Chains A and B, each alone.
Chain A
Amino acid sequence: MLRLLPAAVLALAAPLALAQQKGDPDAAHRNKIAMCIGCHGIPGYKTAFPSVYHVPKIAGQQPGYIVNALKAYKAGERSHPSMRGIAASLSDQDMADLAAYYGVPAK
């Protein structure tokens, strides 16, 4: 019975793992964060358009939320013009990589 347990756990966990695309932080660091750091890499940086406020801290955010936010910008469910433009250029894999680079799952 005990021997069956790991298999049962795997069988249950597999669909969960598939639901979330696996991100590669190194791939993000090599050639994907260039478009993020101009705003999100500067402490205290503010937006200039359409209104002025601090760009959010994204490092240390939950990876799943980062992916959701990027997808929402891409789909037009969030309205910020710069982020819509940038997110529109990202594939699902890009988003997963960026989330793996910046994100830390909350405990």
Chain B
Amino acid sequence: MKRILFVVLALSLSFSAQARGNAESGKAKAAQVCAACHGPDGNKPSAPDQPVLAGQYYDYLVRALSDYKAGHRNNPIMKGFAAQLSKQDIEDLAAWFSSQKSSLHDQR
């Protein structure tokens, strides 16, 4: 009984940690829209004031794109791009960028 409980718990944890978007679809969308400024994998910003997206948390990327789209973040460039994205696009892009390697990390 205990073992079954453990398996159920482990499964539910792994599901909740998993990104909901599809990284492969995100990769294709990123190549069309995001890559010019952020790099194909989100790791090569073309200007010093643009963020690295690779390796960032999935749910934060979803949040940031949704905020640009909704006008809760007011950046003229990103607002224009985010406005064209569906919820599915946003989740796919977040799944792609968050699964790429980068120097981003948590640090005191």
Contact = CB atoms under 8 A, between A and B. Distances in A.
A73 to B, nearest CB: 10
A78 B106 contact: no
Contacts of A68: 49
Interface stretch (B4-12, B25-33, B55-63): B55-63
A26 B73 CA distance: 31
Interface string B82-108: 000000000000000000001111111
A44 B105 CA distance: 10
Contact of B74 (A58, A69, A72, A107): A72
A41 B105 CA distance: 9
B75 A53 contact: no
Interface residues of A, number: 35
A98 B62 CA distance: 25
Nearest to A37: B108
A107 B63 CA distance: 26
Contacts of A69: 51
A56 interface: yes
A32 interface: no
Interface string A37-69: 100111111000001011111111111110111
B108 A56 contact: no
B52 interface: yes
A92 interface: no
Contacts of B49: 62, 64-65, 67-68
Interface of A: 20, 33, 37, 40-45, 51, 53-65, 67-69, 72, 77-79, 102, 104-107
28 contacts: A33-B108, A40-B107, A41-B107, A41-B108, A51-B63, A53-B59, A53-B60, A53-B62, A54-B58, A54-B60, A55-B60, A57-B55, A57-B104, A57-B105, A58-B107, A60-B52, A60-B107, A61-B51, A61-B52, A61-B104, A62-B48, A62-B52, A65-B52, A68-B49, A77-B73, A79-B67, A106-B44, A106-B103
